[in-house]
Amino acid sequence: MPVEEKVSVNSKLNRIIWLLNKKCNLKCKFCYVANRFRNDRELSLDEILKTLDGAVKLGVEKIDFTGGEVTLREDLDIILEETKKRGIETITINTNGTLLSEKMAEILARNNVKVYLSIDGADKKTHESIRGIGTWEKIFKSAELLKSFDITFYTVFACSKINISDVKGYIALSRELGSQKACIIPVLPIGRAKKDVILSREEFIDVLRQVESTAESIRFNAEIWCVPFAGLIISSPYVSYFGCRNLDEMDITPTGDVLVCDTVDISFGNVREGVEKVWRNLINSEMASNLLRTINSPPCSECIIKHICYGGCYARAKFLNGNIYAPDPMCPRVASF
């Protein structure tokens, strides 16, 4: 009888993905925040600063602020300044780019904030069919503004059946805009996104190959989010990927709940109770241990990248298979098992 491999949750908090607000000026087709977090009060500035203090004590090194549209938060400048003062190594914001101003760019530059700029098409027609009329030209203006303030930025492309044919063109556009990296994330069926726009397994794998071939041909860096099994298909030094099942990050909602993933509404408490308390709730939970045990069963147990992937995206397993502990249903090894 095979011996179950011992696995343990990373007890150090390395990163926070922090949804600072629910409000947004757009109504994108794939928004994963829409229709969530509607009833409770958002964290106040004082509560955010207390949470930052607690996170620093836990050793956090990176904080990604997002929304909603994070630039709509009136106290964003204070939040960014206070985050920098606390010595956080990497600070980023994720924005749709339609509201960036010189004043905001100056704040970002002063606090050494990096920016993720959302683009959902390689041309105006596709992008605006997803993000709305008038959003395309603003992407170019935002990119020019960020470059003028010497702000490092990356682009992010939420990939679905609607824009799968734009993958190669998007990566080329990312380089043209002056981005440092083209990021690609597959859409999950949450918020406004429905299952009929979710990529099939074959389309999923085709996207990975398109990313690799394009990154190689134009010698430009790409990063694939939420596809930790990507290493089974691609090997280019221009393409990076990572897994998150080891739970070394904290996902905080606008109302302060700490979730197992920012797409999965399973809470382990609220930061108003104390950051360390809810972090311990998460990493010491039965769910955290069980998520890691996925690699002890076939086909994951025999996989050469199991200690990177740990069974793949557990959110996708939950949404598509109804079992958060199952291996990633898009993985080709899982499909052939």
- Contact by Cβ (8 Å): 317, 324: yes
Q: What is the pLDDT of residue 246?
A: 82
Q: How far apart are CA 243 and CA 225, in angstroms?
A: 8
Neighbouring-strand partners of residue 270: 257
What pLDDT, on a 0 to 100 scale, did the predictor assign at position 3? 47
Between these two residues, 1 and 51, which has the higher pLDDT value? 51
Q: Indicate the range of 208-212, 244-248, 257-261, 327-331 predicted with least confidence.
A: 244-248
pLDDT at residue 9 greater than cutoff 90: no
107 has pLDDT over 80: yes
Q: What is the pLDDT of residue 8?
A: 59
Q: Which two tokens stand for residue 7?
A: 């696995």
Per-residue pLDDT reduced to its tens digit, 275-320: 999 999 999 999 999 999 999 999 999 999 999 999 999 999 999 9
* Secondary structure of the chain as H, E, C letters: CCCCCCCCCCCCCCEEEEECCCCCCCCCCCCCCCCCCCCCCCCCHHHHHHHHHHHHHCCCCEEEEECCCHHHCCCHHHHHHHHHHCCCCEEEEEECCCCCCHHHHHHHHHCCEEEEEECCCCCHHHHHHHHCCCCHHHHHHHHHHHHHCCCCEEEEEEECCCCHHHHHHHHHHHHHHCCCCEEEEECCCCCCCCHHHCCCHHHHHHHHHHHHHHHHHHCCCEEECCCHHHHHCCCCCCEEECCCCCCCEEEECCCCEEEEECCEEEEEEEHHHCHHHHHHHHHCCHHHHHHHHHHHCCCHHHCCCHHHHCCCCHHHHHHHHCCCCCCCCCCHHHHHC
Amino acid at 226: C
Residue 10 is predicted with a pLDDT of: 64
Cα distances (angstroms) measured from residue 139 to each of 106, 168, 316: 18, 18, 29
By percentage, how much of the chain surpasses pLDDT 90? 91
Residues in Cβ contact with 41 at an 8 Å cutoff, skipping those fewer than 6 apart: 255
Whether the predicted pLDDT of 118 surpasses 50:
yes
pLDDT number for residue 5: 61
CA dist 292 to 9, 170, 311, Å? Answer: 7, 34, 8
Most confident of the ranges 30-39, 141-150, 243-252: 141-150
239-241 and 222-224 strand pairing:
parallel
Cis amide bond preceding 68, omega within 30: yes
At which residue do the structure tokens 């760019």 appear? 105
> For position 2, what pLDDT does the model report?
46
Report the predicted TM-score, pTM, of the whole model to 2 decimal places. 0.95
20-43 pLDDT per residue, tens: 999 999 999 999 999 898 778 999
Q: How much is the mean pLDDT over the chain?
A: 95
Predicted local confidence at residue 215, as pLDDT: 98
Residue 45 is predicted with a pLDDT of 98
**Burial grade of 1 (CB within 10 A; 0-12, 13-18, 19 or more):** exposed
Among 6-10, 114-118, 172-176, 222-226, the least confident range: 6-10
Average pLDDT of span 65-69 = 97
| pLDDT score recorded for residue 170 | 98
Give the span between the Cα atoms of 76 and 272, in whole angstroms.
19
